[in-house]
Structures are given as C-alpha cells and as structure tokens.
Amino acid sequence: MKKLVAGVIVALIVGTALGYFLQKDAKWVGTDEAVIEKFAKDAGRQPSEPFINVDQGDLLLFCFLVAGAVGGFIFGYRYRELFPPKSEPVERLPHV
C-alpha cells in the first residue's frame, strides 16, 4: 500500500512537471474560470466584484497573519483537549 501511494505521488509530480513543459500555453487557471465562468458568460451572467476585496497590496497578507496568529493561539491553548495524553489502549474498532 505504501509503495502504491508513493508511486502515485511520484507519478503525479512527474506528470505535473511534464504537463508544465508540454502545455506551456496553458495558464493553469482554476476550473471556475475555465468552466463555470465560461458557461456563465455564455448564458449572459458575469461574475461581479467581491463585496469585500482584501486582495490589495499587503492587506491579504495582513489578514492571514492575524488569522494565523489567532488560530495558532487557540490551537495551542486547547492543544491538550485535542491531543490528550494516552491513557489506555483503544480496543479494535469495528469501523462502522
């Protein structure tokens, strides 16, 4: 199983690298632009600007730093709730 997973990961990395060189014209746009927005435009619907646009200068980075700091603090503060010390071995699970 481990060899299979490792093989798939290597194949994906190699495939991605090969694809990058073989499809240099591809812009690697998201499927929303390639599919969803294409069909929406064909139907006469245009995506509008977001109500809150933080993608201006370093504003996005600031938001992520604040969110990361707050999230990291909460995660660390409640670390023992999430990863309690092991008390006794868990019996074999029936897995539903």
Partner 1 sequence: MINFFGIVGTLMAVIVLWAAVEPVHAMHIAEGILPMGWAVLWFLASLPLIVVGLRNLRIRSEKEPHLKALVGLVGAGVFIISCMPIPVPTAGTCSHPCGTGIAAILIGPTLSVVVSSVALTLQALFLAHGGLTTLGANTFSMGVAGSFAGYGIFVLARRLGASWVISAFLAGLISDWATYGVTAFILTGALHFEGSFWKMFVTICLAFTPTQIPLGILEGFVSAGAYSFIHSRRPEFLQMLAKGGAA
What does the binding site for partner 1 look like in residue numbers (CB under 8 A)? Answer: 1, 5, 8, 12, 15-16, 18-20, 22-23, 25-40, 43, 45-55, 60-61, 63-65, 67-69, 71-79, 81-84, 90, 93-96
Residue linked to tokens 């927005």: 37
- Minimum Å gap between C-beta 41 and partner 1 is 9
47 with 37: CB under 8 angstroms? yes
- Minimum Å gap between C-beta 27 and partner 1 is 8
19 with 12: CB under 8 angstroms? no
40 with 47: CB under 8 angstroms? yes
- Minimum Å gap between C-beta 21 and partner 1 is 10
Residue linked to tokens 């201006």: 56
66 with 72: CB under 8 angstroms? no
- Minimum Å gap between C-beta 16 and partner 1 is 5
